[in-house]
Structure 1
């Protein structure tokens, strides 16, 4: 009997290597990729049963990549394995079509269970976050009125800042200068009374801007 086929996506190769042994008994590992763009390409070629993906990855973040995968193949199962221990991220993962959300420090105890649940069409969320998600109910994750006042460029920069990108990395990604990035960041912070990167990220999550 063939084992379910799993594709891993994490920009830290050492994490994927470490998961090999954890998954070996139950699943066939068909590939490992290190960014969202490669994930989309590999999933189309390898046709895995389950994708295990990080959220913060280069080029295309995990949630945007999975949204594309679900367009290509609505039946593909996805489990996110991430450092983000916030129900807002879990909600966005579910909205993108994920069947599981596991934090990395719980991977040994929970990842195999999450994959098996996904294969059965069930949803597995790290228990520490389920209470918050139940309290949220089915609240919309769409961008709210405050975020709709931002320009398209400000939204792009805010999303990338929330992914942990530096001004230099954002500048390269958007083909603009680091000074332009800092200018837009300053405008965002001034307009909304924010004083740090942490407050910017909180603003992004609160107002439905980030997709990470």
Structure 2
């Protein structure tokens, strides 16, 4: 038997894209073309169901609001019809109830259309690895408010300045604290958020909606 050639590139993931706004769908397809094969673009839930049943795909990227059937109902219909490709919703809907319904229906990803293209690509990569991805701005709801740590006002000030990239000495000067006090706050924050270093601290804080890294 011939040994597999590890130098060959792995097959590109095949994606079905569903959005009833043609220009939006075409713009998304342009974002994906470098890393994915968009095998079909459809404009309705009915077309999505037919295409997914006939065309093998590794991922399905779909809007929720479509004219004939909402995307969540379409996901349920896909599963009932035996289509098991992971589904990522790319939508404007940020309402907690809609997010809940999508995840309970079996969505593997939920990304807001207002997010940067990099976030969509990160979501698709995570789902391809078998994970779940939800836009960071929605995680506060998804994780449950009881999971959001209660921070003191001073801890929030230190955390926000850390997220801005300031060093302990700069934060100490800004807040009129000693460097040792800032370092103590940093260590406590790392314990509260269960992380091991400053990079993980800022990333976790953003995921929980405690800070925003957007300029």
Instruction: Pick 1 or 2: higher relative contact order, CA cutoff 8 A, min separation 6.
Output: 1
Aligned residue runs from structure 1 range 1-212, under 5 A: 1-73=10-82, 75-135=84-144
Change (3 A) 1:136 1:31: farther
Deviation at 1:74, TM superposition (A): 5.6
Query: When the two structures are aligned, how many residues end up with a matched partner?
Result: 137
Structure 2 residues not aligned, in runs of 5+: 1-9, 147-215
CA-to-aligned-CA distance 1:126-176 (integer Å, 9 cap, x gap): 001111111179xxxxxxxxxxxxxxxxxxxxxxxxxxxxxxxxxxxxxxx
Structure 1 residues not aligned, in runs of 5+: 138-212
Deviation at 1:46, TM superposition (A): 1.0
Asked whether the equivalents of residues 33 and 39 of structure 1 are also in contact (C-alpha less than 8 Å), the reply is: yes
Pick the structure with more helix per residue.
1
Deviation at 1:87, TM superposition (A): 2.2
Asked whether the equivalents of residues 53 and 80 of structure 1 are also in contact (C-alpha less than 8 Å), the reply is: yes
User: Matches of 2:35 and 2:22 in 1, distance apart?
Assistant: 21
CA-to-aligned-CA distance 1:5-56 (integer Å, 9 cap, x gap): 0000001011110012210111100000011111000101112110000001
4+ residue stretches of structure 1 with deviation over 2 A? 71-75
Asked whether the equivalents of residues 35 and 61 of structure 1 are also in contact (C-alpha less than 8 Å), the reply is: no
Secondary structure at 1:58's aligned position in 2? coil
Asked whether the equivalents of residues 63 and 71 of structure 2 are also in contact (C-alpha less than 8 Å), the reply is: yes
Asked whether the equivalents of residues 52 and 83 of structure 2 are also in contact (C-alpha less than 8 Å), the reply is: no
User: Matches of 1:126 and 1:96 in 2, distance apart?
Assistant: 17
**TM-score after normalising by structure 2:** 0.61
**TM-score after normalising by structure 1:** 0.62
